[in-house]
Structure 1
Amino acid sequence: MNLEIPKKFASVISQATQVANEVFRPISRKYDRTEHKYPVELNMLASILEGMSDGAESASSTGKAQTAELKNGALMSTVLTLIELCKGDLGLTLSLPRQGLGNTLIATLATERQLKRFGKLWVAMAITEAHAGSDCFTLQTTATEHPDHFSISGEKTFVTAGSRCDAIIIWARIEKDGQIYYKPFLVERDTPGLSITHLENKLGARVSDTATLKLEHCNIPKSHLLGESIIDTANDLSTSQNEFDATRPAVAAMALGVSAAALGQIKTYFEAANGSLDYKKELTQLRHIEAQWYKMEAEWEAARLLTLKAAWLADNGLTNAMEAAMAKSKAGKLAVEITLTCCELASTIGYSEQSLLEKWARDVKMLDFLGGTQQMAQLLLARQLLDKTAEELK
């Protein structure tokens, strides 16, 4: 197993790191205090972002897996980029055009024709509803099939970038031949019947808007059903859940980025006061803060490897349901623990606005449930390990 980062992604990672350090960090606190205000500084990044996207596309070739050879593709590129960007600021990363979970889903599931048409759009993703979220099998938003289009009705909450994006992937239930399927439909923002009813005020990632959407008989072409324009009744209901597995590694990557920033800040504080960390020291000779840091670093590396494996499996068309759930669960929970621990280790600095530690602790909480709560991720893991269906293990 080669654990080195593929060289073809070096330029994309380098550009993401530069954006995080030179653009995001300096304005992070400013937009934390002005929720819902669009960061105009992002407009200057248009050419850089275009270059990053083109670099990712040329490096990964396409989001579709090739069976002839093993490869690192679109999802791996997305994961590596998100880790670097989120070291700068999570909310600003979520505010970047073409960097949302909807774009991740398009990169991994869209047909060639859909990639050409929608690949340049800023696409949000809408899953959560007032009474359903992590478990896609309880969604109430419906899609009704007609001869030449689908009609979608329902309400979605907690839609990241819902008021700023060009289009939204709406997850809806559709009934055909006596079976219920849960599928992603791409709905453009100017579609008649789609409206924004509310913007949330949040604990963290405040610069990123979070919207509530209402859909009233939104008619979309059949070609807007992501992946294929037909419902394949030969497939089992559980295949719908697999489409979520493409986004969970991306959420894990965001958590890794924020927690890496916190670890880096604590390391800087420690080395400024006590000198460099010495990995050759015996465990019994370590200070408490050193032992804490080494433990967090080891756990972070484990979460990173889980995330990379989940992305690699998806890029190669292999089942990654268990790995995606493991990566999302571990990275999300670990990020909360790391950022809070770093706040404690930094003492008063960690709880004040002298540093970004307290902001990162607030920001990262959303990643503990974005893309599925801890409880849901553990339930998915249990189903995989025990070979149980959704009906057998709830």
Structure 2
Amino acid sequence: MTTAWTTPERIALRDAVTAFTQDQIVPHLPTWEDEGRLPRELHAQAAKAGFLGVGFDEAVGGDGGDLVDGSIVTEAIVQAGGSTGVLASLFTHGISLPHIIDSGNADLIDRYVRPTLAGETIGSLGVTEPGGGSDVANIRTKAVRDDDHYVVNGAKTFITSGVRADFVTTVVRTGGEGYGGISLLVIDKDAPGFTVTGPLRKMGWHCSDTAELSFEDVRVPAENLVGEENGGFVLVMQQFVNERLGLAVQAYATAQRATDLAVEYARQRETFGKPLITRQVIRHKLVDMQRRTAAARALTRQAVERSIDGSTTDPSIILDAVLAKNTAVEAVEHVVTEAVQIFGGMGYMRESEIDRHYRDARIIGIGGGATEVLNDLAAKLLGY
């Protein structure tokens, strides 16, 4: 039966991304992990292949499609042997460009969106600060208007693609305390007073560069304001549904890849004269891994489809995204742990793919809203 996920066009997209991943990503991934970053050329190659801009309207330079298409790209890259670290780095524009597009500012779209979707430039999103992460309304980085510029002072940390980025869509405080004083500015990397420290050393996502950013009297043209002054909080909140669903897809895709790798290894590995998979305890582990993965995939895909047809400010859709992400996080954390256990000593070796998935999976329950924060948000949305 054909579904929204198995149309001929989407099967062709999956096949194309799979082939690209196997040819252009997998052979080089160990080197990129050691170097701590992806080559800029990969962005141009992905754009030429026709999927860097999947999910972005052709009117702004994208390849068209919606969140289902974007999810298929994610699934295909992970299933073909890629990683969520690759996804975080190659597709950072998925969190750095939507605010600019939603603002409808044609000048900013021409200067930042189009060249990024063409693989010519790299953008990142600057939200998290040294003093806090999920508490966006408590941002401290200040931007003070001075004639036709804003003067920015402050710092950001844990910024994905912050080392390689040419610009940062930055959350700043232009007004008073709370969410009402938040704005978004696009800040060019070469602006005087803008300092980048990194790449930071991390548990996982080794091929995705992460940086600390410092702003000291950085002058940013007022024309780089995204949307209305003090109206940035709404722009940020509108993108959380897509970001959380994207992470949920990464989680269940990783869980499925880890399960498949564990099944393959259990069939090949012999213990006491028999394949590991003949042991009941191993078969039961594998069944449980598959069950949790399937549940996470079903819940997330349902939420993805609903988000396309609805509004990202609809409380029921926000709740769908929160529940999907936390369910998928729970699934992947369990599955990768069990997969490493099934692999035994080999699962602990850096040369094994499952080692990378184990390390990479841990961030998904932190990024895009920590699991505990999202549980509390779910309780409020449910009226508890």
Note the residue ranges of structure 1 that are not aligned, 5 or more in a row. Answer: 64-71, 278-284, 388-394
Note the residue ranges of structure 2 that are not aligned, 5 or more in a row. Answer: 117-121
Match of 1:17 in 2: 18
Other structure's SS at 1:83 match = helix
The yes-or-no answer on 1:83 pairing with 2:75 is yes
Q: What is the rounded CA distance, in whole Å, between the counterparts of 2:46 and 2:20 in structure 1?
A: 9
CA displacement at 1:28 relative to structure 2: 2.8
Distance 1:302 1:364, change over 3 A: same
Q: What is the rounded CA distance, in whole Å, between the counterparts of 1:310 and 1:224 in structure 2?
A: 33
CA displacement at 1:367 relative to structure 2: 1.6
CA displacement at 1:159 relative to structure 2: 0.6
Match of 1:366 in 2: 363
Match of 2:244 in 1: 248
Q: What is the rounded CA distance, in whole Å, between the counterparts of 1:309 and 1:104 in structure 2?
A: 25
CA displacement at 1:289 relative to structure 2: 2.2
Q: Which structure would you say has the larger RCO, counting Cα contacts within 8 Å and 6 or more residues apart?
A: 1
**Alignment check: 8 A CA contact 1:223 1:229 kept:** no
Match of 1:53 in 2: 51
Match of 1:142 in 2: 142
Distance 1:243 1:354, change over 3 A: closer
Distance 1:130 1:2, change over 3 A: same
Match of 2:284 in 1: 291
CA displacement at 1:334 relative to structure 2: 2.2
TM-score by length of 2: 0.81
Distance 1:256 1:179, change over 3 A: closer
After the TM superposition, which of the residue ranges 182-191 and 260-269 deviates more from structure 2? 182-191
**Alignment check: 8 A CA contact 1:187 1:224 kept:** yes
TM-score by length of 1: 0.79
Distance 1:350 1:370, change over 3 A: same
**Alignment check: 8 A CA contact 2:96 2:168 kept:** no
Distance 1:332 1:171, change over 3 A: farther
Q: Going by fraction, where is helix more abundant, 1 or 2?
A: 2
CA displacement at 1:110 relative to structure 2: 4.7
Letter in 2 for 1:24: I
**Alignment check: 8 A CA contact 1:94 1:100 kept:** no
**Alignment check: 8 A CA contact 2:182 2:231 kept:** no
Matches within 5 A, 1:123-142: 123-142=123-142
Other structure's SS at 1:125 match = strand
After the TM superposition, which of the residue ranges 14-23 and 174-183 deviates more from structure 2? 174-183
Letter in 1 for 2:238: N
Distance 1:178 1:163, change over 3 A: closer
The yes-or-no answer on 1:115 pairing with 2:113 is no
The yes-or-no answer on 1:95 pairing with 2:96 is no
The yes-or-no answer on 1:261 pairing with 2:254 is no
Distance 1:223 1:380, change over 3 A: farther
Cα offsets for 1:273-332 (capped at 9, x unmatched): 689x9xxxxxxx993322222222222222223333443344345123212222222222
**Alignment check: 8 A CA contact 1:195 1:215 kept:** yes
Cα offsets for 1:213-242 (capped at 9, x unmatched): 01123333444333x245459xxx777533
Q: What is the rounded CA distance, in whole Å, between the counterparts of 2:100 and 2:58 in structure 1?
A: 11
Match of 1:338 in 2: 335
The CA RMSD over aligned residues, in Å, is 3.4
Q: What is the rounded CA distance, in whole Å, between the counterparts of 1:173 and 1:372 in structure 2?
A: 20
Match of 1:280 in 2: none
Report % sequence identity: 20
Other structure's SS at 1:214 match = strand
Q: What is the rounded CA distance, in whole Å, between the counterparts of 1:10 and 1:104 in structure 2?
A: 27
Q: What is the rounded CA distance, in whole Å, between the counterparts of 1:335 and 1:194 in structure 2?
A: 37
Match of 1:68 in 2: none
Q: What is the rounded CA distance, in whole Å, between the counterparts of 1:172 and 1:305 in structure 2?
A: 37
Q: What is the rounded CA distance, in whole Å, between the counterparts of 1:313 and 1:222 in structure 2?
A: 37
The yes-or-no answer on 1:321 pairing with 2:299 is no
Total equivalences in the alignment: 363
